[in-house]
Amino acid sequence: MSPSRGHTQHTQLGRPLPTLFIYTSIPIALTLIAHPLLPLFVPQDILDKFPLPPQPTYPALQANVGFALLAFIGAVLSVPKVGEAFIAKGLKGWDQLKKGSNRNTGPWIPECLGLPCASLYLLLMMLFIPFPFSHIFQGTTQHGPGREAFPKGELTLYLTSLLSLMTATMLGFIDDMFDIRWRHKLPIPLIAAVPTLVVYYAEGGWTWVVLPASLGKLLSYLGFGGWEGTKSIDLGFLYYVYLALLPTFTTNSINIVAGVNGVEVTQAFIIALSVAFNDLLFLPVWPRWLLVLLGNIGNPDEGRVLSWAAGEVVKRHLMSLYFMVPLIGVTAGFLWHNWYPASAFPGDTFCYFTGMAFAAVAIQGHFSKTMILFFLPQIFNFILSCPQLFGLVECPRHRLPHFNASTGLLTPSRVVFDKPPPFKTKITLEILEFFGLTEIERVPVHEESGSTKTSKNGDAKAHPTGSKKPTRIMAASNLTILNYLLVVFGPMHEQTLCLALGAVQVASSALAFGIRYGVGSLVYGGDRR
Amino acid sequence: MSPSRGHTQHTQLGRPLPTLFIYTSIPIALTLIAHPLLPLFVPQDILDKFPLPPQPTYPALQANVGFALLAFIGAVLSVPKVGEAFIAKGLKGWDQLKKGSNRNTGPWIPECLGLPCASLYLLLMMLFIPFPFSHIFQGTTQHGPGREAFPKGELTLYLTSLLSLMTATMLGFIDDMFDIRWRHKLPIPLIAAVPTLVVYYAEGGWTWVVLPASLGKLLSYLGFGGWEGTKSIDLGFLYYVYLALLPTFTTNSINIVAGVNGVEVTQAFIIALSVAFNDLLFLPVWPRWLLVLLGNIGNPDEGRVLSWAAGEVVKRHLMSLYFMVPLIGVTAGFLWHNWYPASAFPGDTFCYFTGMAFAAVAIQGHFSKTMILFFLPQIFNFILSCPQLFGLVECPRHRLPHFNASTGLLTPSRVVFDKPPPFKTKITLEILEFFGLTEIERVPVHEESGSTKTSKNGDAKAHPTGSKKPTRIMAASNLTILNYLLVVFGPMHEQTLCLALGAVQVASSALAFGIRYGVGSLVYGGDRR
């Protein structure tokens, strides 16, 4: 992991490549991809002489893993190659949490390298089209109905998702190029979702929501007239509003937890892993007892029973896997260069692109509620940020943690109050402090004028409040999940903080699975597609 | 047409907008779009009281025209709005054929404004999806089989074309941003065509070519064994090679005829008009006698006979129209700002985007040969350029016409030979001169050393060759269609040259129609789908 920084005065050309891994992976990837193709293109008499290993149950999924490996290798190789060109075109940033880094002189780190990653991913996803959708595979590698016998309609969903992803990438790049204002940025993921939503509509999309039986019982207790079992209601237009807000949510919630090397990419990586894991649970390859043990995951009989609905659910999750597995590959490849100390920054392009990927599979796969569960840390961050976003507490332009050059550690960044904050701010901060969500620094009232500015960096410790003198709030840690982690665990190294956030993301994915398959099956009583 | 140049020192903010036209067009566009929707969303009792005008035969096509008007208005309004931001980001060029324009100080004209045009076009094309493809239109506005009853499969073709267009736009923008080298540029349209080709393949694409009866006769005359009537042969993989080369051809052939204000956009505009006109001929709305008179255009009975094949041909050309009509709109809107004196340059983005649009409709609509016919001026330009492209004659970096600042007119730019050119160059140029394709300037052999450099600008007239003294070739006009027009018609104003190229393009479209429906119907004997 030793970085090769400082190749030149101004650029950092990325860490050394994992050469051995790359050169062993390429043949593995190509074998995974070529294996399902061989029976189609190699004459039968040759195959009789040199028999192939038996075809997997999911040949397209095997090829997909091959493409994911190529995505990883491609990202690792291409990011340092294009970095110089990005810096030359002004797509560059300075690393605010490094010693000797400066807004005017750098060292410059190429920004917006989500672009080559997204381009690579999209190209590979285009080349993958024949595997699940080609007529040539129908009948030859099909092991029974409901497995990989994709109807043409699925190709439409696939193409629509690609179109939305491509739009998100392009808009993200335009945003990175022209620095679109925050207000104008918000609807961008919505525009990118247009293909998905329009095709969802044109195909006569599903706008029903299943209400849990327990809600019916609750309503009947309250005297509103309940119902027995689950009930579906048609949300109609409102459902489209919900679907339209989903990409805005997934995109911006990744984008907002940023500023520390590797943190955006780590989030996307773990969410993609979680979605893929969830998808895998729906494939009819697990022993029934395991699924029952795990709380009836994925309706254990789905995929085995050859009913229409069961096949549908398997297909949707297979489709989601096709998008998530290469996304894991490309994200891991980019993380190689974005990890502390970063030699490439993701830019908004990366956040738009990954956010749209999550939204697209959730919409097309009909598992948007499960997807939202995987964003628990981001939702926590958003709720924690609300007092600052909505003006209850002052919001400085940057809220990323503060770098203490003498210790080399990060401490929470602070919002500093030059005069006593208004009552609403005071009460908000004190409530947050009570729950341990912020760290407040107080000064005795008579000391007010002098020392406020100097402690802006947040290195000063809070004054002991037991001194009886009347005090006032002078500073509070900024309300983000990254600062919260620093408040809870104390000052940390940048890399440790990124790891901590990754750990939180993993833990909340575990919690999400618990909610989805534990609480969810109690609430919905088994009918959860 | 009076330009509002010089708003600021460095930028030209575009010519005044056609305000009256814009504000009258918006309601017309919205009416065209809303009309087919009204019977679906307005309750029947209101419609009974306020009857609508009768629905058109092609409601989606009517909405498409509305979208084309919006594309025109959008391009006219958005191009000047974003110009400043493009210049600020270094996406700018100087106008080489203007007095007082300079490579170092400008005045700068924003480059690469194909990007907002392409983005606008793509957004409108996405919003158009429900009109031809939505389930809600099936049955309500359908006037018989083979009209607008699109099967789901057509949606796949539509989405694929959008995906290819989006890819072309993104790659074009990346090219404009990072100045990709000429050699690396060539495969870009091929990458953009990947979605189209892969889906064409995955759907079990057609790889047959119809050979004309006359070729069979010719072969039998030559003793190779001919055949009666037309014959189809399966080109297989070679057909994909042909399809893959088509976008490379359409894209680069527009890109190569460039350098004069408005010339790229004019080409694209006229080609789009020609394709749309050709598509219209296939709709079963024309009186039969007219089609027979025009040489059995579009198989006069197609679309009336309710056979599968006839409906297919109508659908394909309807699909092509859906892409071409808004393309005409957006191209016309951009031409408003790109026309002499240009206040916006198209950039490679524009050429990639329009070139890919032509290739996509030709591939999906199975009329690639007809499409190639609409590129006759570009083919002529390519063939004329060959001696310079392949090194027979020296090729300077820029071959655009020379601007004579004293007359304000353009003259052919010249390649100048400091020493006598080698024999192969001499003989090539003399052959071209014989056909009037180049203008050669000769000097007596003993004058060789002195005055060559000074006449590089091409203002000097060729010496009379009747003076008996031995002469040698000192300069020749560059081998492009623009220089050729200047050789034939003499020095011209920049605007006149663009008009002249437009006229050539129109004339060769007329010739193309003659070949397609005159010669073509003789050769193929009526079976031309």
Give the pLDDT confidence of B153-195 residue by residue, as tens digits.
Answer: 788 889 999 999 999 999 899 888 887 777 777 777 888 888 8
Using CB atoms, which residue from A126, A136, A202 is nearest to B195? A126
DSSP B467: G
Residue B190 touches partner A, C-beta closer than 8 Å = no
pLDDT in tens, chain A (529 residues): 344 443 444 444 567 888 888 889 999 999 999 888 887 777 888 888 888 777 777 888 999 999 999 999 999 999 998 888 898 888 888 888 888 777 777 788 899 999 999 999 999 999 898 888 776 565 544 343 333 444 567 888 899 999 999 999 998 998 888 877 777 777 778 888 888 888 887 766 666 666 666 666 777 777 766 666 666 777 777 888 888 889 989 988 888 888 899 999 999 999 999 999 999 888 877 777 776 666 655 555 443 433 445 567 788 888 999 999 999 999 999 999 999 888 899 999 999 999 999 999 998 888 888 899 999 999 999 999 999 888 888 888 788 898 988 998 999 999 888 888 888 899 999 999 999 999 898 888 765 444 444 444 444 444 455 556 788 888 999 999 999 999 999 999 999 999 999 999 999 999 998 888 777 655 554 444 4
A29's CB contacts (< 8 A; 6+ apart) are A66, A67, A69, A70, A73
- Give per-residue burial for B341-372: e unless 16+ CB within 10 Å, then b: bbbbbbbbbbbbbbbbbbbbbbbbbbbbebbb
Nearest chain B Cα distance for residue A160, angstroms: 7
Phi-psi region of A229 (alpha: psi -120 to 50; beta: other; left: phi over 0): left
Q: What's the average model confidence in pLDDT over B114-122?
A: 94
Instruction: Tell me whether residues A135 and B198 touch, CB distance under 8 A.
Output: no
* Model pLDDT, residue B73: 94
Q: Which residue has the tokens 């995951």?
A: A297
B271: pLDDT strictly greater than 90: yes
* φ, ψ dihedrals at A392, nearest 5°: -65, -40
Residues B154 and B312: their CA atoms lie apart, in Å, by 10
Chain A interface mutation, best of B148, B198, B207, B322, highest count of A Cβ atoms under 10 Å: B198
Nearest to B159 among A159, A173, A178 (CB): A159
Residues 291 through 330 of chain A touching chain B, CB cutoff 8 Å: none
CB A383 within 8 A of CB A146: no
Residue A294: its pLDDT value, please?
66
Which of A123, A135, A191 lies nearest to residue B123, judging by beta carbons? A191
| Cα atoms in the Cβ-side hemisphere of radius 13 Å centred on B60 | 28
Q: How far apart are CA B39 and CA A292, in angstroms?
A: 51
In DSSP terms, which residues pair with B409 in a beta bridge?
Answer: B404
Identity of the residue in B85, B133, B163 whose CB atom sits nearest the CB atom of A178: B85
Other C-beta atoms lying within 10 Å of the C-beta of residue A470? 9
Q: Cα separations (Å) of B285 from B272, B319, B521?
A: 21, 16, 21
Residue B374 vs residues A146, B278, B377, B379, B380: alpha-carbon distances, Å: 47, 10, 8, 10, 12
A236 touches B: beta carbon within 8 Å: no
Cβ contacts (< 8 Å) between A159 and chain B: which residues? Answer: 156, 159-160, 163, 195, 199
Record: contact A134-B201, CB cut-off 8 A: yes
Confidence class for position B379, pLDDT limits 50, 70, 90: very high
Secondary structure of residue A403 in the 3-state scheme: strand
Q: Which residues pair with A65 in a beta bridge?
A: none
Q: Which residues of A touch B180 (CB under 8 A)?
A: none
What pLDDT, on a 0 to 100 scale, did the predictor assign at position A129? 87
Using the Cβ of B40 and the Cβ atoms of chain A, whether some distance falls under 8 Å is answered with: no
CB contact under 8 A, A89 and B204: no
Residue with more model confidence, A297 or B111: B111
**Residue B196 near residue B363 (C-beta atoms within 8 A):** yes
The reply to whether residue A167 touches residue B191, judged by beta carbons under 8 angstroms, is no
**What is the rounded CA–CA span in Å between residue B406 and residue B409?**
8
Q: Does the distance separating the beta carbons of B85 and A89 come in below 8 Å?
A: no
pLDDT for residue B256 is more than 70: yes
Name the residue among B133, B167, B178 with its Cβ closest to that of A89.
B178
The closest alpha carbon to B480, from B391, B396, B402, B380, belongs to: B380
Angle at B59 between CA B54 and CA B64, to 5 degrees: 135
3-state class (DSSP) for residue A299: coil
Whether residues B178 and A129 touch (CB distance < 8 A) is answered with no
Average pLDDT over residues B434-457: 69
pLDDT at A125: 93
Whether residue A70 lies within 8 A of chain B, CB to CB, comes out as no
Minimal Cβ distance to A202: which of B134, B178, B191: B134
- Nearest in space to A416 (alpha carbons), one of A390, A453, A385, A443: A453
Q: What is the model's pLDDT at position B306?
A: 38
A195 to chain B, minimum CA–CA distance in Å?
6
B17 pLDDT band, cuts 50/70/90, is confident
What is the torsion angle, in degrees rounded to the nearest 10, for the CA atoms of residue A494, residue A496, residue A501 and residue A505? 150
Check residue B146 and give its pLDDT.
33
Is some CB atom of chain B closer than 8 A to the CB atom of A349? no
Report yes or no: A364 at the B interface, CB cutoff 8 Å: no
Contact A174 B203 (CB under 8 A): no
Q: Which of B477, B476, B483, B488 is nearest to B442 (CA)?
A: B476
Distance from CA of A149 to the nearest CA of B (A): 13
CA–CA–CA angle B114, B118, B121 (5° rounding): 140
A12 vs B432: CA distance, rounded Å:
54
Q: Does A37 touch chain B (CB under 8 A)?
A: no
CA–CA distance, A93 with A107 (Å, rounded to integer): 8
For chain A, the residue count is 529
The pLDDT of residue A446 is 67
- The string over A149-180, giving b where at least 16 C-beta atoms fall within 10 Å of a residue's C-beta and e elsewhere, is bbeeebbbbbbbbbbbbbbbbbbbbbbbbeeb
Please state, in angstroms and rounded to a whole number, the distance separating the CA atoms of residues B140 and B326.
25
Chain A residue closest in CA terms to B82: A178
Query: Which residues in chain A have Cβ-Cβ distances shorter than 8 Å to B203?
Result: 135, 152, 155
Decide: A402 and A414 in contact? Cβ < 8 Å: yes
pLDDT attached to residue B466: 52
> In angstroms, rounded to a whole number, what is the distance separating the alpha carbons of residues A137 and B121?
35
Please, which residues have CB within 8 angstroms of residue A455's CB and are 6 or more apart in sequence?
A414, A416, A441, A474, A475
Identify the bridge partners of residue B471 per DSSP, sorted by sequence position: B444
ipTM of the complex: 0.82
Interface contact A3, partner B, CB < 8 A: no
- Rounded Cα–Cα distance for residues B173 and B187 (Å): 15
Of A122, A166, A198, the CB nearest to B129: A198
The shortest CB-CB distance from A163 to any of B159, B173, B194 is to B159
What pLDDT shows up at residue A71?
Answer: 96
So what's the pLDDT on residue A303?
A: 39
Chain A contact present for B347, CB below 8 A: no
Nearest to A340 by CA among A275, A409, A249: A409
Average pLDDT over residues B445-456: 51
Give the integer Cα–Cα distance in Å for A77 and A329: 13
Contacts of B204 in chain A (CB under 8 A): 134-136
Over pLDDT 70: what percentage of chain B? 79
Distance CA B269, CA B257 (A): 14
CB-nearest partner of B166 from A160, A167, A177: A167
Residues of A354-365 as b/e, b for ≥16 C-beta within 10 angstroms?
bbbbbbbbbbbb
- % helix / strand / coil in chain B, to the nearest 5? 60, 10, 35
B344 in Cβ contact with B337 (< 8 Å)? yes
Please indicate whether residue B447 or residue B493 has the higher confidence score (pLDDT): B493
The per-residue pLDDT for A357 is 95
Asked if residues B364 and B131 have their Cβ atoms less than 8 Å apart, the reply is no
CB contact under 8 A, B170 and A166: yes
Predicted confidence at residue A38, as pLDDT, reads: 80
- Choose from B86, B111, B203, B240 for mutation: most chain A CBs within 10 A: B203
What's the pLDDT at A11?
Answer: 43
Closest A-chain CA to B131: A202
A181 touches chain B (CB under 8 A): no
> Cα–Cα distance between B68 and B66 in angstroms, integer?
5
Confirm or reject contact between A163 and chain B (CB < 8 A): yes
A169: chain B residues, CB-CB within 8 Å: 170
Q: Are B144 and B317 in contact (CB under 8 A)?
A: no
Q: Does B199 touch chain A (CB under 8 A)?
A: yes
pLDDT for residue B450 is more than 50 = no
| Closest listed residue to residue B130, CA positions, set B39, B41, B63, B58 | B63
pTM (two decimals): 0.85
> What is the chain A residue with the closest CA to B138?
A202
Split at pLDDT 50, 70, 90, the class of B494 is very high
Provide, as residue numbers in chain B, all residues whose Cβ is less than 8 Å from the Cβ of A135. 202-204
Let me know how long chain B is: 529
**Which residue type sits at A321?**
L
> What pLDDT score does B230 carry?
62
Q: Does B220 touch chain A (CB under 8 A)?
A: no
Helix (H) or strand (E) holding A208: strand A208-211
Question: Where is B440: in which H helix or E strand?
Answer: strand B440-444
Q: What is the DSSP letter of A515?
A: I
Which residue does chain B place closest to A177, by CA atoms? B89
CB contact (8 A) between residue B202 and residue A160: no
In which region does residue A509 sit, left (phi positive, over 0), alpha (psi from -120 to 50) or beta (all else)?
alpha
